């Protein structure tokens, strides 16, 4: 049998172990509270950094957008400057040259160069005469009696050409429709 002394010692050991477990639990609880505060501080820091990063992104894209609007037409202008030079040369030669045929050839060359520059950027004129009137691409100026039955409801005459830029109508054709 166990003596009383041994029992007392065992109880003291059990009590001290229980005390050690309780102290350990207290130690575990305290760091958890600190960890929660640290997590709050960390999350707050992440939030502030993310907010600052987004604000910088917004400012940067705003500046880029303004710059894009300033230089949006740069490529088309670069293509049109040589055409402008050709027109200036043609105007200078008109004063010196009396031959109308030569002047006509020069103007035709400048016109073709100008037209090809615009077409290379996606501009295309579309045909309207003898086509069925379409309010999506045509603007009717007036209606006249159709010269023949085939032209009823179709475009008889084109006052201004219509243009598309990459399949989007940028100028409606002004037309006369047969009735």
Q: What is the pLDDT of residues 152-176, one digit of tens each?
A: 989 999 999 999 999 899 999 999 9
Position 6 scores a pLDDT of 60
- For residue 55, pLDDT over 90 is answered with yes
Position 37 scores a pLDDT of 87
Residue 87: partners with Cβ closer than 8 Å, 6 or more residues away: 110
Percent of the residues in the chain that have a pLDDT greater than 90, as a whole number: 45
Contact 103, 139 (CB under 8 A): no
Average pLDDT over residues 93-111: 83
Between the CA of residue 125 and those of 115, 128, 155, 163, what are the distances in Å?
A: 10, 9, 16, 4
pTM for this one?
A: 0.58
Least confident segment among 8-17, 104-113, 142-151, 167-176: 8-17
- Residue 126 CA to residue 71 CA, distance in Å, equals 29
Structural element, H or E, at residue 155 = strand 155-160
- Residue 158 CA to residue 78 CA, distance in Å, equals 31
Domain 123-179: top CATH class: mainly beta
Q: What is the pLDDT of residues 1-50, one digit of tens each?
A: 455 666 666 666 666 666 655 555 555 445 556 688 889 999 999 999 99
2 versus 129: which is more confidently predicted?
129
Position 33 scores a pLDDT of 60
Position 79 scores a pLDDT of 84
Residue 54: band (very low, low, confident or very high) from pLDDT cuts 50, 70, 90 = very high
């Amino acid at each position: 049998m166990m003596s009383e002394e041994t029992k007392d010692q065992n109880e003291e050991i059990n009590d001290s172990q229980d005390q050690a477990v309780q102290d350990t639990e207290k130690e575990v609880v305290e760091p958890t509270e600190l960890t929660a505060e640290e997590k709050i501080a960390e999350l707050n820091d992440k939030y502030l950094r993310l907010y600052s990063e987004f604000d910088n992104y917004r400012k940067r894209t705003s500046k880029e957008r303004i710059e894009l609007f300033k230089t949006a037409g740069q490529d088309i202008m670069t293509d049109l400057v040589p055409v402008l030079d050709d027109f200036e040369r043609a105007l200078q030669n008109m004063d010196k040259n009396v031959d109308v045929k030569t002047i006509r050839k020069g103007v035709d060359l400048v016109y073709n160069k100008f037209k090809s520059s615009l077409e290379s950027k996606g501009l295309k004129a579309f045909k309207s005469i003898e086509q069925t009137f379409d309010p999506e691409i045509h603007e009717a100026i007036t209606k006249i009696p159709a010269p023949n039955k085939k032209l009823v409801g179709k475009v008889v005459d084109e006052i201004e050409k219509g243009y598309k830029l990459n399949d989007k109508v940028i100028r409606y054709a002004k037309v006369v429709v047969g009735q």
